[in-house]
Structure 1
């Protein structure tokens, strides 16, 4: 699990750099913000994550 987490950090940085180059910094912030917001909503509404702390 740590390999997946630590290995994805450089990929995220590279993706951010490419997005900044191709679509600009403002659009990059908007795109990544929408992705993070959608992930937060999905995890919040996920049934398994909702009851993960009560087990």
Structure 2
């Protein structure tokens, strides 16, 4: 996969195309970057308030 950049004839529009793929893993969508491109997705944040609410609801 390679990226592609083109300039319009009127020199006012720049088009950048970056190929990527989206795959599902464990119910989550994962973006697959082009070959050789480093990409580190941000770590998932744990919502402690939501975890407490689910635990309390389960106990109730």
Bigger proportion of residues as strand: 2
User: Relative contact order, CA 8 A, sep 6+: which one is greater?
Assistant: 2
TM-score, normalised on structure 1? 0.32
TM-score, normalised on structure 2? 0.31
Q: Computing the radius of gyration over CA atoms, which structure comes out larger, 1 or 2?
A: 2
